Amino acid sequence: MTNQGIDTELADFERRARENQIRLNTDLKRSYDFIICGGGSSGSVIARRLAENPDCQVLLIEAGGNDEAESVLDPAQWPTNLGSERDWGFQAQPNPHLDGRALSMSMGKGLGGGSSVNVMVWAHGHRSDWDHYADESGDSGWGADAVQAIYRRIENWQGAPDPQHRGTGGPVWVQPAADPSPIAGAMLDAAQELGIPRFESPNGLMMAGEGGAAYTDMLVRDGRRHSLYRAYLRPWSDRPNLTIMTNTLVHRILFEGRRACSVEIERAGDIRLIGASSEVIISTGAINTPKLLMLSGLGDRSELTRLGLPLVEHIPGVGQNFQDHVAFCCTWEYHRPIAPRNSGSEAKMYWKSRPELAAPDLLLCQAEFPVPSERTGALGVPEHGWTMFGGLAHPQSRGRVRLNSSDPHAAPIVDANMLSHPADVEAALACVQLCRELGAAAAFKPFIKREAIPGEGNPIDYRFVRDAAVTYWHQSGTARMGRDDKAVVDSTLKVRGVEGLRVADGSIFPTVPTGNIQAPCAIVGERAAQFIRDMYHI
């Protein structure tokens, strides 16, 4: 087909999809078979997979708007979404382990959720993560081999063929960073100088052993962001059985006895109930999901009593087990400016803070610009420079999300509690030391003038890591899957103690995956949809 033919077909699809959604939104039904709350990374996958059956009436409800904006679609512009209307703008509580610092905890708001505002890095997670989830849940379907088969099915991989780990026929277009910056290549060379192996891709073999370094795999297609909404949901938005409501807040889930039967929603000031004849699926992300569960009467009894909320089921683990990758930014000044390319992050590394570890406990991304914290900026931010965003892949610290109010509009309290565990401080010091050694490698000499942060001669100590700590925005774990009393969902993601309700998003991970988490969230979406299809024979 000619370019003009493709353009006409695309414009035709967009018109059809727009008219379809206007029609469906105008004639809302009183009840749908499935209601998915949240149109982010996992929610986009679930809605598409359920709507593939034309006999299923699917409603997806998203609090934010659409993704038609250059700030979303142009990969270089991702930082401009931070603090915008596309960001929930959460802020963690002041943390005594960070000398009272209250970290920003951005999360995406709008179709695609995090996958519409993130850095577009695609990371499968480590084999040991998935095998751990299989152990915790008692279901080998969460194990690395089973999950690998899902990745093969959903990917449309554009890099060197690797049929054991990568697929080419799926909806998710994944490509190695195109024409990466020389500074990304220098990082891979520097890693090799330190004895850290280099791989063709950061997924596949590299995530089966002790780690390594590689150019980043990205969700970018034809130079534009390819969010999980774009990969899964948008191509299905012209279907008559898929209603996508945007700018609509889910207040709470309502129950008949122990069965979830409807959702209370608010759109443009209008509050109404919509019924779910089969199931409600909560995919509102690791901060909003525990909030929505608690507002719906599911949580710790004392927590709900504190706010006068009626209890449906005492589930003490709701909001507990909060995890995130904490990162420490080290910055070098360029000899001569090098403009960032792609999303400005094109090299990845996973490595170990201690040689005896079998799997990586550190994750490092390069940023092709300075990224100081509000404290380390005082050490002097070079006008032109690059950053090692080194972080803890397996933090031991655990935080908590609690309600601030029974008002659905109120932000919850996020006690991220980073660096509260002494082992994390030790790993953090090793991480920053590794960053410093990378920056000092011969491979970087042609590009850099000096280490700006922490700064040559400055010690790497507790004070530095405490002041440098920022989030990788990988909030997770607050409605954890498992078999013990503190678990919130079972191996099929059903919320314990009630019927007709699942949680499927980054909240369910028992431990945060080793790498960036949108790909694991896509797996959660795929598995949730499969559980539902199996249960209802659809």
Residues 6+ apart with CB under 8 A from 428: 326, 328, 392, 419, 465, 469
Binding residue for ligand FAD, selected from 57, 106, 243, 331, defined by CB under 6 A: 106
Binding residue for ligand FAD, selected from 36, 50, 121, 186, defined by CB under 6 A: 121
Binding residue for ligand FAD, selected from 17, 24, 37, 470, defined by CB under 6 A: 37
Q: Which stretch binds ligand FAD (CB under 6 A): 20-28, 114-122, 311-319, 417-425?
A: 114-122
Q: What is the rounded distance in angstroms from the CA atom of residue 469 to the CA atom of residue 449?
A: 24
Q: CB of 51: closest distance to ligand FAD in angstroms?
A: 17
**Within 13 Å, how many C-alpha atoms sit on residue 254's CB side?**
13
For the record, the structure tokens of 328 come out as: 């420490």
- Residue by residue, DSSP assigns 359-425 as S--EEEEEESS----TTGGGG---SSEEEEEEEESS----BEEE-S-S-TTSPPEEE--TT-SHHHH
Q: Does residue 97 have an active-site annotation?
A: no
Q: CB of 479: closest distance to ligand FAD in angstroms?
A: 10
- Output the furthest CA–CA distance in the chain (Å, rounded): 68
The site string for ligand FAD over 267-286 (x = CB under 6 A, - otherwise) reads: ----------------xxxx
* 354 in Cβ contact with 303 (< 8 Å): no
Residues 6+ apart with CB under 8 A from 463: none
- Number of chain positions touching ligand FAD (CB under 6 A): 42
Q: CB of 397: closest distance to ligand FAD in angstroms?
A: 18
Residues 6+ apart with CB under 8 A from 224: 73, 74, 75
Q: CB of 25: closest distance to ligand FAD in angstroms?
A: 15
Give yes or no for residue 61 binding ligand FAD (CB under 6 A): yes
Q: Which stretch binds ligand FAD (CB under 6 A): 57-65, 230-238, 367-375, 397-405?
A: 57-65
* 402 in Cβ contact with 415 (< 8 Å): yes
For the record, the structure tokens of 4 come out as: 């003009």
Q: CB of 137: closest distance to ligand FAD in angstroms?
A: 17
Give yes or no for residue 249 binding ligand FAD (CB under 6 A): yes
Cβ-based nearer residue to ligand FAD, 37 or 465: 37
Q: What is the rounded distance in angstroms from the CA atom of residue 256 to the CA atom of residue 379?
A: 58
Q: By three-state DSSP, how is residue 304 classified?
A: helix
Binding residue for ligand FAD, selected from 46, 119, 414, 416, defined by CB under 6 A: 119
Residue of closest CB approach to ligand FAD:
40
Give yes or no for residue 501 binding ligand FAD (CB under 6 A): no
Give yes or no for residue 39 binding ligand FAD (CB under 6 A): yes
Owner of token pair 């997770």: 476
Cβ-based nearer residue to ligand FAD, 43 or 360: 43
Q: CB of 81: closest distance to ligand FAD in angstroms?
A: 7
| Residues in contact with ligand FAD by the rule CB under 6 A | 37-43, 61-64, 106-110, 113-115, 117-121, 123, 249-250, 283-286, 288, 292, 473-474, 505-506, 516-519, 521
Query: Would you please indicate which residues are annotated as catalytic (active-site) residues?
Result: 474
